[in-house]
Structure 1
């Protein structure tokens, strides 16, 4: 039998693959953008952020520019989204409402993320009676339906955009506390944590430098999903008259104003409703993609199928 020449590359096939020096954030971004739905969500949210930053620059009319002779005008070239019962341009109010909705969502989730992650981190790391006390308090908050709890907080603080941010932040704090605590319980006994403790590192330093970075992934995923629900909550509160107050534009407030004219001016409710739908959908699909990309097992499976390459 003729001798078979062996390719040197094949001889080395059993050697371990070279380490991937690609930064983790870049691999995550590559995996997320390989998902078409997630890419759609990311592009949509970037556009919304630009709209919120430019606000009045993009709006063709002032958000409170009353033009009574043009009231309840159907969509035209001059008013692509039509006009409302006071003759105000619906497109301008939808564009300016993006700023309110995103601002409320980001600030509310930022408050709940900071408070909830701190509570969950301390409870999970310290354990014992402090853990029981903190988590039972979170269970009490979590037991109430989110919108009812937000309404109760606003009943105490009073209606308004700022108070709506605080109310939504309080409502979502238990969710972040639970996520942070569960992740902390699985991390606090890792070898690197025990090594830092044996080296004399303080508890605060261990939590800040060793535990918090390793529980960041599930917290980030939860934040992206909570942003969608925070925007929905703001729209619901404004719809009920407890959030953004007239004449300031808000998608929920516009829905509330449009419900009285559904028969003769359907566009008053349709376009702000579509804005809420697209925004919430974008946050949800982006959150799902982040969850898969930040999960090591899911990320490895996606990379093996060629995603993100």
Structure 2
């Protein structure tokens, strides 16, 4: 009994002295590297504005999202209507502003679903290998073999159109990406000294994965999360464009694009401004993702610095 207690104490002491590689031991360093990247800062500013718009958009919108004024339909951008009005006389700026909440919500929840399903699968497959790895990765290959948007359309078609089903569909579509990235990272660290030491001290497989493996593979997962948020917003816009995502009367950037395509010659602003909102959001997530990649991958950072010195 004393030997067991001693082993537990040794294990806890070992885990208390976390390996230097752990991301959680250097958040300030990572943050400093991200804010040193000007493009990443631009992306953070844009995302901050989008989050503010999503939170307080309905309260600061100058007009109601479904407030119609048929006598003022197809009005161009002006002081009263910054983005003009649509075919029903609704203020496009108000609708674009409020639609940011739905787009960011879909992106966050869908990527959360993909993370919650894909990361554990990748952890188990990469850590144990063998039959578990083969079975789980073949399952991911089956899901990954379908074109992303077609699989999302199929899932929504089965479950029915709507915001919740769109989030579930997009989450399932991006699940294999997180599983693959996590598995590859786990394979690269599962035989490290600190993992072997934890195993020799009697730590169980789940404990090793949770306390030693996952913290050391979280970097690539964070980068992929930021990039997947951009793709999830694009997927939601595509589903809404096809009438399978956010349903009227709730505004959606994709749905507004679909509504505006029939008036491109008469009132191009109906589709242009929602499209610009999508572009700005996706670009912002990509810029932040690139900044995180450079901060979390020393090899990538050294390559960029060497190229800068050569230039």
Normalised TM-score (structure 1)? 0.89
Post-superposition offset of 1:300: 5.5
Q: 1:24 aligns with which of 14, 23, 26?
A: 26
CA distance in 1, matches of 2:249, 2:35: 39
Is 1:155 paired with 2:165?
no
Aligned to 2:48: 46
Give yes or no for contact 1:31–1:302 (8 Å, CA) kept in 2: no
Give yes or no for contact 1:31–1:299 (8 Å, CA) kept in 2: no
CA distance in 2, matches of 1:68, 1:231: 31
CA distance in 2, matches of 1:305, 1:179: 27
Post-superposition offset of 1:149: 0.5
CA distance in 1, matches of 2:103, 2:29: 30
RMSD, aligned CA: 1.9
Greater gyration radius: 1
CA distance in 2, matches of 1:62, 1:38: 34
Post-superposition offset of 1:298: 3.4
SS in structure 2 opposite 1:260?
A: helix
Number of equivalenced pairs: 287
Is 1:222 paired with 2:224?
yes
Post-superposition offset of 1:303: 8.1
Q: What do the CA deviations read for 1:24-48 (whole angstroms, capped 9, x no partner)? A: 2122111111221111101000110
Give yes or no for contact 1:251–1:272 (8 Å, CA) kept in 2: yes
CA distance in 2, matches of 1:145, 1:123: 23
Q: 2:282 aligns with which of 271, 274, 280?
A: 280
Q: What do the CA deviations read for 1:138-180 (whole angstroms, capped 9, x no partner)? A: 0011111100000010111100011000000000000000000
Post-superposition offset of 1:127: 1.0
Pairs within 5 Å for 1:298-309: 298-299=300-301
Normalised TM-score (structure 2)? 0.89
Pairs within 5 Å for 1:89-238: 89-238=91-240
CA distance in 1, matches of 2:217, 2:25: 18
Q: Which runs of 5+ in 2 are unaligned?
A: 1-19
SS in structure 2 opposite 1:65?
A: coil
CA distance in 1, matches of 2:298, 2:183: 20
Q: Which runs of 5+ in 1 are unaligned?
A: 1-18
Pairs within 5 Å for 1:283-294: 283-294=285-296
Aligned to 2:15: none
